[in-house]
């Protein structure tokens, strides 16, 4: 690994960390994430992000179990990796592998050609979210600032 290897703390912006979002469905959460990424960087199309996330979900749910989902997709013309962390006010159905509803979502949008980085980040995320105490701390965050700090602190 090089010094420029991607880590969660250098792809997640505070503006893309959203706490206790009201969402009624998987589709709505993916729309919400796409809209926020577009607000953060208006050169990116929320429609394209949403469609790519939905296309990836059609291949198989990104709900990894224990109330956690890591939706991800590749995006044409993107020059850097974008992460978005969302906690959901009331758990939603996500077709997760354990059939449990989801309330913790980390979306990952990567450049079209970023394959090894993509897999490395997915691996890092899955490892972090495998720690129940870490997930509990994220779920207990009352605001976006606290959620962001806990996500970053948990990554060091």
Helix (H) or strand (E) holding 127, with range, is helix 115-129
Secondary structure E strands in the chain? 12-21, 63-65, 68-69, 72-75, 82-92, 102-111
Residues 6+ apart with CB under 8 A from 9: 151, 152, 155, 156
Query: So which residues are the catalytic ones?
Result: 72
Q: Are strands 102-111 and 72-75 parallel, antiparallel or unpaired?
A: parallel
Residue 72, strand partner residues: 108
């Amino acid at each position: 690994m090089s010094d420029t290897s991607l880590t969660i703390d250098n792809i997640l912006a505070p503006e893309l960390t959203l706490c206790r979002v009201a969402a009624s469905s998987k589709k709505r959460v993916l729309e919400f994430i796409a809209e926020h990424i577009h607000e953060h960087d208006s050169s990116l199309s929320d429609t394209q992000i949403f469609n790519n996330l939905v296309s990836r979900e059609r291949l198989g749910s990104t709900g990894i179990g224990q109330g956690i989902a890591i939706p991800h997709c590749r995006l044409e013309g993107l020059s850097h990796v974008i992460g978005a962390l969302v906690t959901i006010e009331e758990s939603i159905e996500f077709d997760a592998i354990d059939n449990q509803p989801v309330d913790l979502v980390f979306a990952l949008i990567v450049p079209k050609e970023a394959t090894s980085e993509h897999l490395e980040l997915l691996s890092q995320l899955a490892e972090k979210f495998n720690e129940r105490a870490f997930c509990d701390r994220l779920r207990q965050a009352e605001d976006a600032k606290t959620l962001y700090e806990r996500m970053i602190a948990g990554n060091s």
